[in-house]
Amino acid sequence: MVHLDRRQIAATASAAVVGAVAGAVLTAPTAGGDVFGFSVDPPGFPLDSTPTAIAVGGLVALAVVSASRRIRVAVVGMTIGAVILVGAALFDAPAVVRTIGAGGVLGGIVAITRTDPRRSAFTGTVAGFVLGSFVVPALGTIRRREDPTPRRYADYLPSRGSVTVFAGDRVLVVGAALVVIAVVLLAVTLRPRLSEPIRRPPARPAAIAAMVLVAGALVFWWFLRWISSSMTSATGLHTFLGGYLLVAVAIVVAVATPGRRGLVWLAAVAAVASHGADGASASGAVEAAVIAGLIALGATVAILTSGRDDGRRAPAAVCAALIALTILTASQFLDGDTSSMIPAFAGIFLVPVVVGATLVAAVRGDARPHGATVVGALVALPLLTRTTGTSAGWTAYTPLTDAEGFSGFGDLSYAATTTTAIVSAVITTSACAAVAVVLLRRSPATAD
C-alpha cells in the first residue's frame, strides 16, 4: 500500500482543485457560453469568440510550463493567474482575461506536479481538469441566473441579447476563491522545495501543442464561415466535418511523439468523441455532483489498475478504455423501444467513468508525457468539442446564435442528431483505439 503523508495529501488535493477550476474556466469562460452570432456574410476572424479565448489561455499555460525553471517560478505563475481570476470574477472582463488566468494556474500546477515522483499530485491535476470540463456545462443555469419561464418560439428566434456583463458569476467567484486557497496551501507545502530546479520540456512538444491550439481557433473560424455559406446555398440540417482535420492532426501528433507519451492526445480526442454519448443534458447542482463522482470513480479505477507508482500497466489500461469508449459511442445506433435504453443508461453512468479513467491512465504510464504535451491535450478538449461534428439548422438556430445557449456539450459537439455525426464519432474512437494498440507495442520513452 502506498503511504501518503499530510503534505502529499494537501498537495494532491490542491492540485485537483486548481485543475478543476482551470478546466471549468477554459471549457466555459463565460456564464453564457459561446460569444458569437450567425451572419449570412462571411465573418472575420472571431477574436471575441470562446474558442479563441481558450486557445490564448492554452498558449499562456504552455508559456508558464516552458518558463518554469524552478518551482518558485511556477508558483509565481500560478499566483498571477489566481489574481487575474479573482479580478475577472469581481469585475466585468472579457472571456480572454478569464482564460489567461486559468492558463496561468494550469501551466504552473502542471510544471510543479510533474516533478512529483509519486505521481499523485500530477494525477490529481489531470483528473481535476477533466472533472471541471465535464461538470461546468451542468452548472449553466446556475451561472446565468436566468428566468425559468420559456420564451415562445425560442428555437427560432435569437436571444434577447448577448451576455456582456460577466461580474458576479457565482461559479467563477467560488472557483477563484478555491484557487487562491489552493495556491496558498501549495506555497506553504512546497516551501522547502521552492529552489528546486524543474527540467524544462523540450521545445518540440511545446511547439507542437501550440500549433494544435492555434489550429483549433482557425478551424472554428472555418466553422463560422461554413455556417454563412450553408445559409446562402441550401437548407436543412448539416453537420460540419471540417473539425476532423484537427482530430487527424492530434492523432498524427500522438504517433509522432516518442514512446508512448502520445497516448494522452488519443485519450483527449476520444473523450471529445464520446461527449455525444454522455447523456448529460440536464443542468443543475445534483447533475454536476453525479458527474463529478463518476469521473472521480474513473480516475480511482485508473490509479488502481495502472501498476501503482511504476505505471507499467497504464498503457494497456488506456487501450482498454478507448475500446470501451468506442463500444459506448456505437451504442447510439440502438434506437428500438427497449434497446434505446442501453445507450441512455450507459451514456449517463458509464461514459464519464471511462473518460476519467482514460485520461488519468494516459498520464500514469512508465514514462510520463512532458508538461507541454499534457497542457496541449487537456486544452484541446474544449477546442475539439466546439469544432467537430457540429450540427446547424436552417434558421437562426438557437445554440449557434444565442449567447445564453451553453447548456451542455451537446449544443456544440457530437450531438446525436445525425447519422453522420454518430458514424464520425465511432470512426474517431476506433482510430484512437487502433493507434493506441500500435503505441502499446513501442518501448516507453526514457523517463526524465
Q: Are 19 and 132 in contact (CB under 8 A)?
A: yes
User: 444 phi and psi, to 5 degrees?
Assistant: -65, 145
Give me the mean pLDDT over the 261-273 stretch: 92
Give me the mean pLDDT over the 330-341 stretch: 77
CA–CA separation, 394 vs 379, rounded Å?
Answer: 31
Distances from the Cα of 150 to the Cα of 146, 153, 155, 164, angstroms: 10, 9, 10, 21
Give me the mean pLDDT over the 16-30 stretch: 91
Report the pLDDT value the prediction gives residue 194, as an integer from 0 to 100. Answer: 87
The cell for 350 is: 458509464
The cell for 265 is: 492526445
Q: Are 122 and 142 in contact (CB under 8 A)?
A: no
The cell for 186 is: 501549495
pLDDT over threshold 80, residue 276:
no
Spatial CA neighbour of 267 closest among 136, 61, 435, 412? 435
Report the pLDDT value the prediction gives residue 93, as an integer from 0 to 100. Answer: 84
Report the pLDDT value the prediction gives residue 154, as an integer from 0 to 100. Answer: 42
Task: Give start and end residues of each alpha helix (H) in 68-169.
Answer: 71-90, 95-113, 120-135, 140-144
Give me the mean pLDDT over the 285-311 stretch: 83
CA–CA separation, 411 vs 181, rounded Å?
Answer: 33
User: 239 phi and psi, to 5 degrees?
Assistant: -120, 125
Report the pLDDT value the prediction gives residue 304, as an integer from 0 to 100. Answer: 86
DSSP assignment of 234-252 = --S-EEE-TTHHHHHHHHH
Report the pLDDT value the prediction gives residue 209, as an integer from 0 to 100. Answer: 95
Q: pLDDT higher for 29 or 109?
A: 109
Task: Give start and end residues of each alpha helix (H) in 306-370.
Answer: 314-330, 341-349, 351-362
Residue type present at position 58: G
pLDDT over threshold 70, residue 167:
no
Residue type present at position 311: G
Q: pLDDT higher for 36 or 273?
A: 273
Spatial CA neighbour of 409 closest among 436, 434, 383? 383
User: 331 phi and psi, to 5 degrees?
Assistant: -65, -15
Report the pLDDT value the prediction gives residue 68, as an integer from 0 to 100. Answer: 93
Which residues, other chains included, contact 427 with Cβ-Cβ below 8 Å and sequence gap of 6+?
Answer: none
Tell me which of 111-120, 255-264, 288-297 is least confident: 111-120
Percent of the chain predicted with pLDDT > 70:
76
**Beta strands of 304-447 (E only): which ranges?**
390-392
What count of other Cβ atoms lies within 10 Å of the Cβ of residue 95?
25
Which residues, other chains included, contact 137 with Cβ-Cβ below 8 Å and sequence gap of 6+?
Answer: 27, 28, 280, 283, 406, 407, 408, 409
3-class DSSP assignment, residue 390? strand
Mean pLDDT computed over every residue of the chain: 79
Tell me which of 227-231, 274-278, 398-402 is least confident: 398-402
Which of the given ranges, 132-136, 215-219, 307-311, 374-378, has the highest pLDDT on average? 374-378
Give me the mean pLDDT over the 313-325 stretch: 92
CA–CA separation, 218 vs 220, rounded Å?
Answer: 5
